């Protein structure tokens, strides 16, 4: 089995877990984690994208738990992702903001929430993602250039490249991970 199909298999197992959780949410609670990060209030349907954007795959260590379509007062339904043994850095939090602008990040140490923050999409994004317009100067390998985008909309996501003016949406961001 090659790496690619391991990944597919892993994703399928995750989806099955989600289905189980979804069907029996009255009895089955997502287990608490000791140390790590809980990403809550993810726009429903985007849990797997959050996993993807964080680069979590079959080869990563630690338990990852996903809950989808969890009832939420704020969002109606939401998704939750728990990542055991990993605290997200600000750059990763920014990336999550691109696809789940209402998400909250809870850093857990010894079963306790030690830090809670809402993700916030900055008005200018630098370096996190690439311009999907191939002839854009920001894709040039010989130039000292960092891609810069202006956030023109959060939901739906709308980013404008500082250099070529190209407009990108959520799909353009997801394609890159």
Partner 1 sequence: MSYLLPLMVCFMVSASVFIGRDVISVKDFTREEVDYLLRIASEMEPLAESSSDILKGKIMATLFFEPSTRTKLSFEAAMYKLGGLVIGFSEPEASSMKKGENLADTVRVVEKYADMIVLRHPAEGAARFAAEYAKVPVINAGSGAEEHPTQAFLDLYTIMKEKGRIDGLKIALMGDLRYGRTVHSLAYALSLYKTKLFLVSPELLRIRREVLEDVNARIEVSEHSNIEEILPEIDVLYVTRIQKERFPDLAEYTKVRGSYVIDLNVLRRARSDLIILHPLPRVDEIASEVDSTPFARYFQQVKNGLVVRMALLALILGAVKE
The correct pick among 164, 169, 176, 177 for binding Zn ion (CB under 5 A) is 164
Bridge-based pairing state of the strands 148-154 and 124-126: antiparallel
- Residue 165 interacting with partner 1 (CB under 8 A): yes
- Residue 142 interacting with partner 1 (CB under 8 A): yes
51 φ, ψ to 5°?
-60, -45
Shortest spacing between CB 143 and partner 1, in angstroms: 5
Question: What is the C-alpha separation between 20 and 62, in angstroms, rounded?
Answer: 20
Shortest spacing between CB 134 and partner 1, in angstroms: 9
Report the Cα 56 to chain-centroid distance in Å: 10
CB atoms within 10 A of CB 3: 10
**Residues of the shown chain interacting with partner 1 in the complex, contacts defined by CB under 8 A:** 133, 135-138, 140, 142-145, 160-167
**Residues of the shown chain interacting with Zn ion in the complex, contacts defined by CB under 5 A:** 131, 133, 136, 161, 163-164, 166
């Amino acid at each position: 089995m090659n790496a690619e199909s391991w990944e597919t298999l892993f994703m399928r197992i995750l989806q099955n877990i989600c289905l189980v959780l979804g069907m029996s949410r009255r009895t089955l609670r997502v287990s608490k984690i000791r140390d790590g990060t809980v990403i809550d209030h993810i726009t429903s349907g985007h849990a797997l994208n959050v996993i993807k954007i964080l680069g979590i795959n079959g080869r990563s260590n630690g338990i990852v738990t996903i809950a989808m379509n969890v009832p939420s007062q704020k969002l109606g339904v939401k998704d939750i992702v728990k990542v055991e043994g990993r605290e997200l850095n600000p750059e990763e939090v920014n990336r999550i903001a691109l696809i789940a602008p209402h998400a909250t990040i809870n850093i857990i140490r010894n079963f306790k929430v030690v830090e809670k923050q809402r993700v916030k999409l900055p008005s200018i994004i630098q370096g996190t993602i690439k311009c999907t317009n191939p002839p854009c100067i920001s894709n040039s390998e010989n130039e000292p250039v960092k891609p810069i985008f202006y956030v023109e909309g959060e939901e739906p996501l709308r980013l404008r490249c500082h250099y070529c003016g190209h407009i990108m949406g959520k799909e353009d961001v997801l394609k890159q991970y």
